[in-house]
Homo-oligomer: A and B are copies of this chain.
């Protein structure tokens, strides 16, 4: 909160008044905001690799070249940083999902479904996409309030599946109840963070084919 120039101003007594309004940022202040994304990325990577509890705020600070107390200048607590990671993950996942769904005509629900599955795998296993996997693992380390604020984004993400599943149910491609189907399907896909490896085994496309063949008739 204390502005750096304060130090200089107190040295000289009579200083010409600064212009009114919010002071312009000087070159020295430019770091104020733009280190936040770096902190988020480093935190996401470390949280995914080591887990939330096994990662200290010192680890995160070191990963972006800060000193131990500095992350708390950007985030009020370690769990607030975790929550920010998850929110960022959900926001970009929702954007990716919306973009993917729009790129496919709505008429064959099977094609929409394939796109949803493929996009979900990308969100989980794409290069640098550590944000959502962290959310799947570390949900428990949030406070109740943070969980509530996140649940809105989660519902938004899940909501995109419902009309597609309903269409598939109506056309006979899906026989199980829609709501339980959504829970089971998303679980099957999300669980792949536990076993999928980009370097061995099936590719994401093969995985998508297998999921389609497993869940849908015809």
Question: Which A residues are within 8 Å of any B CB, using their own CB?
Answer: 50-51, 53-54, 139-141, 174-177, 180-181, 183-192, 194-195, 202, 206-207, 209-211, 213-215, 217
Contacts and interface: CB of A to CB of B under 8 A. Distances in A.
24 contacts: A51-B140, A174-B214, A175-B213, A176-B210, A176-B214, A177-B210, A180-B202, A180-B206, A180-B207, A180-B210, A180-B214, A181-B210, A183-B192, A184-B188, A184-B211, A184-B214, A185-B188, A185-B214, A186-B191, A187-B191, A188-B188, A190-B191, A214-B215, A217-B217
B53 A176 contact: no
Contacts of A141: 51, 54
A66 to B, nearest CB: 24
